[in-house]
Amino acid sequence: MRRSMRSILTVTAAAALLLPLCGVSAAYASPPGHSDADKSALRNQAPRDLAIGSAVWGQKQLMAYDPAAPTEYQQVLGAQFSSLTPENDMKWDAVHPAPDVYDFASADALVAYAKANHQQVRGHTLLWHSQNPAWVTEASKTWTCDQARDVLEDHIRTVVGHFKGEIYEWDVANEIFQDTWDNGGVKLRTEANPFFKACSDDPVALLEDAFRWAHDADPDAVLFLNDYNAEGINEKTDAYYALAQRMLADGTPLGGFGAQAHLSLQYGFDTTLQANFERFAALGLQVAVTEADVRIPLLEGETGPTPEQVATQAERYDGLLQACLNVKACSSFTVWGFPDANSWVPDVFPGEGWATIFEDDYSPKPAFDAMLESLHDATPGTSPRR
The predicted pLDDT at position 380 comes to: 67
Beta-strand relationship, 330-335 and 262-264: unpaired
Q: In terms of pLDDT, which residue wins out, 297 or 181?
A: 297
Beta-strand relationship, 51-56 and 330-335: parallel
Contact (CB, 8 A) for 255 and 285: yes
In our burial notation (b when 16+ CB lie closer than 10 A, e otherwise), range 175-190 reads bbbbeeeeeeebebbb
CATH match for 22-377 among 3.20.20.80, 3.40.50.1110, 3.40.50.1970, 3.40.30.10: 3.20.20.80
Average pLDDT over residues 182-202: 92
Q: Where are the domains of the chain?
A: 22-377
Tell me the C-alpha distance between 80 and 356, whole Å.
Answer: 14
The predicted pLDDT at position 382 comes to: 56
The predicted pLDDT at position 16 comes to: 34
The predicted pLDDT at position 383 comes to: 54
**Cα–Cα distances in angstroms (integers) from residue 184 to residues 180, 232, 364, in the given order:** 8, 21, 43
In whole numbers, what is the pLDDT of the chain averaged over residues?
Answer: 89
Angle of helix 273-281 relative to helix 307-325, nearest 10 degrees?
A: 20
In our burial notation (b when 16+ CB lie closer than 10 A, e otherwise), range 302-319 reads eeebeeebbebbbbbbbb
| Cα-based angle 315, 384, 284 (whole degrees, multiple of 5) | 100
- Look at residue 15 and tell me whether its pLDDT is greater than 50: no
Cβ-Cβ contacts under 8 Å for 112 (sequence gap 6 or more): 13, 14, 16, 17, 18, 62, 65
Q: Is 149 exposed, middle or buried (0-12, 13-18, 19+ CB in 10 A)?
A: buried
Tell me: the pLDDT tens digits for 35-58? 445 789 999 999 989 999 999 999
Tell me: the pLDDT tens digits for 230-260? 999 999 999 999 999 999 999 999 999 999 9
Contact (CB, 8 A) for 337 and 344: yes
- Look at residue 181 and tell me whether its pLDDT is greater than 90: no
pTM over 0.75: yes
* Phi-psi group of 46: left, alpha or beta (phi > 0 → left; psi -120 to 50 → alpha; rest → beta): beta
pLDDT band of residue 6 (cuts 50, 70, 90) is very low
Q: Which residues are catalytic?
A: 175, 291
Tell me: the pLDDT tens digits for 91-115? 999 999 999 999 999 999 999 999 9
* Phi-psi group of 152: left, alpha or beta (phi > 0 → left; psi -120 to 50 → alpha; rest → beta): alpha
Residues written for the chain: 386
What's the CA dihedral at 307, 312, 313, 316 to 10 degrees? 170
Using CA of residue 224, residue 193, residue 132, residue 96, what is the dihedral sign?
positive
pLDDT band of residue 23 (cuts 50, 70, 90) is very low
Cβ-Cβ contacts under 8 Å for 151 (sequence gap 6 or more): 136, 139, 143, 195
